[in-house]
Copies of this chain bind each other. A is one copy, B any other.
Amino acid sequence: MTDRKPKNIFVAGPIAPAFIGESIGHHASKTNIGGHSIFLGQVRADMINDQPVKAIEYSTYEAMALEKMHEIREAIFSKYALTCMHVYHSLGRVGAGEISLFVFTSSAHRKAAMDACAETVERIKSELPVWGKELFDNESYQWKENK
């Protein structure tokens, strides 16, 4: 177990596809990596009571979320032989079709990266104190519930 410091994972607004490309490119010098696994959460224009979701507005209990994310990160690093892990989550408004979650794990052999990515996503969804408010055209909204 290393003593990684809690890192900020939150970014204002959507996560840009070009940023994801750049993050991937930063790993070219890590020639012990054989596989990268990436999960991206994208905002769906779900129809709710005949109204499409236009955007989701994310909020968090930041101090607790960063502490929890640190705990998740340490647990994942101690369970899987990862080279690195990066997590970004949007706060504020993210439009339908835009990306709100970016989880990126890397390892020498593919299985560790893939399993670690899947487990990290599940833990983020169930354990991070983050809330999404689904916004509609007519100024109405509904609080999102994760399935």
Interface residues of A (CB under 8 A from B): 17-22, 24-25, 27-45, 52, 96-99, 106, 108-110, 114, 117-118, 121, 147
Contact = CB atoms under 8 A, between A and B. Distances in A.
A14 B17 CA distance: 19
B27 A24 contact: no
Nearest to A98: B28
Given A33-B42, A35-B39, A36-B40, 5 more contacts: A21-B22, A27-B42, A29-B97, A32-B45, A41-B110
Nearest to A27: B42
Given A37-B38, A41-B110, A110-B121, A99 B32 contact: no
Dominant secondary structure at the A interface: mixed
Nearest to A35: B41
Given A24-B17, A30-B97, A39 B39 contact: no
Contacts of A97: 27-31, 33
Nearest to A39: B37
Contact of A21 (B20, B27, B109): B20
Contacts of A21: 17-22, 24
Nearest to A14: B28
